[in-house]
Amino acid sequence: MRIHALQTGTVAIKQRQRAGRGPGAARVAVTLADRRFTEPLPILAWLVEHPDGLILVDTGETAQAMQPGYFPAWNLYFRLGVREPVTPDEEVGPRIEALGFSPSEVRQVVMTHLHTDHAGGLHHFADSEILVAHTELGLATGRLAKVLGYLPHRWPAWFAPRAVELDGGPFGPFERSHALADGVTLVPTPGHTPGHLSVAVRTDERLVLLAGNTSYTQDLMLAGVADGVTTSPATDRETLRRIRALARSEPTVYLPTHDPDAPRRLEAMEAVGSPGAHPSR
């Protein structure tokens, strides 16, 4: 089973978002007050060539996000906290075509969560089954959705994802899971959002964890540093602890969405903690 990294532009965020500080909900205020942006970080999505059909994990950002008025002006996070240059040919659809596939061939799209830089490319997948964790879908469609950084009014009109309950048996250190396809398992990784999930893919070589925003880099996962937008740093750290336990139990390639070193680790199938591991930022 081959996995491709698809980069849909870049995002710069506050340095305090990458490595948060402060208790509970106050972390968001600390993040926004930070004057320092990160360097442009990749916005990655992942295409899995599964024998039963293509599976896409996340859809990246849309070039529409560059248009004035795309983000709600009253939302301070979008006004102060994020810069996202994305061109139309960097969207996930053209990226899939560049690999010789068509977006309409994607059988299933799994969303790690529904923030804009993961859900921006949904409009390319009208023919696919789209899966979102039940908890995530509830928050992203609830009354506080836009305050929480979701843009439900930007989703395609046809968007009606399958709400997945992760109520299957344990997967390694994760108490619950959902078997999606042979060798592909969804695991709950709450923290960045309460309904965040990750996708474990057992390739011929290694276990690969397509990890969304569980952390911004592998080093931050290893150090157990919660991000600066979570409302529950303790939940975030518990998820990172489980990922470390998984990586100790068997060689695991850890691939978060915004880690500049993730495509290289995928190419090399480099597991967490492997002796030749290149330090990531």
* Site for Zn ion, rule CB under 5 A: 115, 213
Nearer to Zn ion, 172 or 194 (CB): 194
Strands 2-13 and 82-83: antiparallel
Of 47 and 114, which has the nearer Cβ to Zn ion? 114
Residue 176: CB minimum distance to Zn ion, A: 21
| Owner of token pair 């994802």 | 161
- Between CA 128 and CA 105 the distance in angstroms is 8
Structure tokens at 234: 């303790």
Q: In terms of CB distance, is 227 or 270 closer to Zn ion? A: 227
What is d(CA 272, CA 203) in angstroms, rounded to the nearest whole number?
Answer: 16
Measured from the CB atom, the residue of 38 and 50 that comes closer to Zn ion is 38
Q: Name the DSSP letter for residue 277.
A: P
Contact predicate 133/278, CB 8 Å? no
Q: How far apart are CA 61 and CA 2, in angstroms?
A: 23
CB of 41 vs Zn ion, minimal distance in Å: 12
Measured from the CB atom, the residue of 198 and 213 that comes closer to Zn ion is 213
Which residue's Cβ lies closest to Zn ion? 115
Identify residue 69 by its one-letter amino acid code.
Answer: G
Q: Which is nearer to Zn ion, 84 or 270 (CB)?
A: 84
Compute the least distance from the CB of residue 281 to Zn ion, in Å: 19
Q: For residue 103, what are its two tokens? A: 């977006």
- The least distance separating Zn ion from the CB of residue 273, rounded to whole angstroms, comes to 26
Please report how close the Cβ of residue 116 comes to Zn ion at its closest, in angstroms: 8
d(CA 60, CA 99): 16
Supply the minimum distance, in Å, between the C-beta of residue 119 and Zn ion.
Answer: 9
**How far apart, in whole angstroms, are the C-alpha atoms of residue 142 and residue 149?**
12
H/E element, 268: helix 262-268
